[in-house]
């Protein structure tokens, strides 16, 4: 059985921070919008399929940086 988890996106100083909405999972990853790199901070539930969307989230790359 495959479980789908939803990732939510937020702008952080290090890039786009995707956080899993599942409290028991806790996957977090950072996407660098400039270089396209992806860094997994917490793997969380490795068996779950994670999908994220930036739909509905207003992103402004110019604001990515130290607050």
8-29 burial code (b ≥16 CB/10 A, e <16): ebebeeebbbbbbebeebebbb
The reply to whether 22 sits near Zn ion by the rule CB under 5 A is yes
With CB under 5 A as the rule, give the number of residues binding Zn ion: 8
Stretch that binds Zn ion, among 11-19, 24-32, 35-43, 53-61 (CB under 5 A): 24-32
**Residue 15 binds Zn ion (CB under 5 A):** no
Q: Which residue has the tokens 């068996």?
A: 47
Residues that bind Zn ion in the complex, under the rule CB under 5 A: 5, 20, 22, 25, 27, 44-45, 48
């Amino acid at each position: 059985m495959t479980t789908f988890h939803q990732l939510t996106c937020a702008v952080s100083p290090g890039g786009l921070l995707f956080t899993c909405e599942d409290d028991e999972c806790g996957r977090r990853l950072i996407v660098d919008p400039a270089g396209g790199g992806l860094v997994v901070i917490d793997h969380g539930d490795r068996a779950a399929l994670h999908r994220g969307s930036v739909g509905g989230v207003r992103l402004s790359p110019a604001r990515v940086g130290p607050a």
